[in-house]
Amino acid sequence: MDILSVIEAKKRGKALSREEIAYFVRGAADGTLPDYQLASLLMAIRLNGMDARETADLTMEMAASGEMLSPDVGGVPVDKHSTGGVGDTTTLVLAPLVAACGGKVLKMSGRGLGHTGGTIDKLESIEGMRVELPEQEFVEIVKKVGCAVVGQSAHLAPADKRLYALRDVTGTVDSVPLIASSILSKKFASGAKAIVLDVKTGSGALMPTLESSIALAKAMVDIGHHAGRRITAVVSGMEEPLGSHVGNALEVKEAIDVLAGRAKGPLLDTALFLGALMLESSGVAKTREEGMEKMKAALHSGAGLQKLREMIAAQGGDARVCDDVSLLPKAPVIVPLRAREAGWLQKEDCTALGLAAQRMGAGRVKKSDVIDPAVGFVMEKRIGDRVEKGDVLCTLHARTEESASTAGDAVLAALTFSPAPAPKARLLYALVTPGCVADLDM
């Protein structure tokens, strides 16, 4: 067997055998296959897809490409994963809240992918924060604190780590089999037994249509069900940034503001809903409704913010940021972007907004790019809001005046205004469980 024959088979739309999948996954993990051949195969998969059997085989082979953990964390290990969005900081809100309720959140997160932000990049904006931990230390923090958020270990699903980085720079991000196998291989390898998936849909999502988002959610729920994991998926909206803050340190600030009770809105609502599902899935709550009550109680008592302090400290970070957000990195240029016309904000090109932040330095264009933690922007208006000429649409946090000007033009180009009132963006669309897709109207 050779990689060229595997590429050729998939290029012609043929289904790959388990043996062929195992061959290229091993080559990705041990470095024997070069980037350019792996990139070629990724593009063939992106263009011609994989059937359900291929996707399941790819998931299990990638999970088995490294160590498979069975951690003792003093409870059911639970994880949450988002398919990626703009201003999506739910992990930093719900992980400490779930831990405060008695859950054990074993969270292995990724870096930015395409126009979407990465939780690990956000955490690294906290001085001293360690996101690369030995597996035993990772497990011990979860056992003691209740939650830990780390980057993917080199020993867990190493094939995915390499393919994930290549997808980011080869235009192969938006593929159902590649997304499903990437997400679930990491979850299976890390030892999560209960998993809640947040599958985004809309202009800022990897899957822009509701139909494709539901298809991805169903594919992952089915793979998890057959693997003996309890998996629930939520299809949520990404027609606008979930939170108002876009950019690494800015999003950490917003998460702290939410946990401190200073900020509300869609970010909090989504985090509470997903967290309630995590508590139900892991057996900490008997029902979703009970889970929601526990989450709200942990928020209002300040227990969630305390858990974030404990997690940051356990991972070597400066936990003082939880009480003084001014300790986070700050951009030297902060300027308002004002509306040039009056009307109702009708639509946002959320992908364009994510790309604007990426080009400011908040994300990577090339694999080797270094993140600037301080840059990004804060959106002051949401879809459906009335805007007067001269109102501040967003506040730009940039490294230079030129960067702020370029980003400002990109943000303006991403917004559409209407002379008539426009409806608010929908937040939650569907709840997907094995064999069932239930409508959520939020």
Between CA 241 and CA 171 the distance in angstroms is 22
Q: Is the pLDDT reported for residue 368 higher than 80?
A: no
Contact criterion met (CB below 8 Å) for 392 and 379: no
Q: Is the pLDDT reported for residue 85 higher than 90?
A: no
Stronger pLDDT, 95 or 364, i.e. the higher one: 95
- For residue 182, indicate whether it is catalytic: yes
Tell me the whole-structure pTM to 2 decimals: 0.88
Stronger pLDDT, 155 or 215, i.e. the higher one: 215
Q: Which of 57-71, 105-119, 326-340, 350-364 has the lowest mean pLDDT?
A: 105-119
Closest CA to 261 of 297, 318, 302: 302
What does the pLDDT average to over 39-67?
94
* 367 Cβ contact list (under 8 Å, min separation 6): 165, 166, 168, 169
3-state secondary structure of 233: strand
Assign 392 a pLDDT band (cuts: 50, 70, 90): very high
Between CA 44 and CA 260 the distance in angstroms is 47
Q: What is the structure's pLDDT at 244? A: 97
- For residue 167, indicate whether it is catalytic: yes
Structural domains present in the chain: 3-49 (1.20.970.10), 77-325+428-439 (3.40.1030.10), 330-418 (3.90.1170.30)
Q: Is the pLDDT reported for residue 103 higher than 90?
A: yes
Catalytic residue among 82, 109, 181, 182: 182
Q: Is the pLDDT reported for residue 114 higher than 70?
A: no
Question: Residue 226: which H helix or E strand, with range?
Answer: helix 210-226
Q: Which of 190-204, 255-269, 321-335, 399-413 has the lowest mean pLDDT?
A: 190-204
Q: Which residues of 356-392 are buried (b: 16+ CB within 10 A; e: fewer)?
A: bbbbbbbbbeeeeeebbbbbbbbbbbbbeeebeeeee
What does the pLDDT average to over 341-356?
95
Cα separations in angstroms, 363 against 120, 208, 369, 415: 12, 20, 8, 21
Catalytic residue among 104, 107, 161, 186: 186
Q: What is the structure's pLDDT at 69? A: 85
Q: Is the pLDDT reported for residue 256 higher than 70?
A: yes
Render pLDDT for 269-292 as a digit per residue (tens, 0 to 9).
Answer: 999 999 999 999 999 999 999 999
The strand order across the sheet containing 376-379 reads: 245-246, 376-379, 392-398, 333-338
Q: What is the structure's pLDDT at 289? A: 97
Catalytic residue among 57, 79, 121, 160: 160
Catalytic residue among 80, 81, 187, 294: 81
Which of 129-143, 350-364, 406-420 ranks highest by mean pLDDT? 406-420
Q: Enter the DSSP assignment of 191.
A: T
Residue 149 sits at φ, ψ, to 5 deg, of -125, 115
What does the pLDDT average to over 51-72?
91
- For residue 198, indicate whether it is catalytic: no
* Average pLDDT of the chain, as a whole number: 93
Q: What is the structure's pLDDT at 109? A: 81
Stronger pLDDT, 67 or 102, i.e. the higher one: 102
Between CA 338 and CA 391 the distance in angstroms is 5
Stronger pLDDT, 318 or 176, i.e. the higher one: 318
* Strands 333-338 and 104-109, sheet pairing: unpaired
Q: Is the pLDDT reported for residue 110 higher than 70?
A: yes
Contact criterion met (CB below 8 Å) for 94 and 271: yes
* 332 Cβ contact list (under 8 Å, min separation 6): 398, 399
Catalytic residue among 111, 115, 167, 364: 167
Q: Is the pLDDT reported for residue 116 higher than 80?
A: no
Assign 245 a pLDDT band (cuts: 50, 70, 90): very high
What does the pLDDT average to over 24-52?
96
Between CA 270 and CA 439 the distance in angstroms is 15
Between CA 305 and CA 321 the distance in angstroms is 11
Between CA 289 and CA 390 the distance in angstroms is 43
DSSP secondary structure string, 124-169? TTSTT------HHHHHHHHHHHSEEEEEPPTTSSHHHHHHHHHHHT
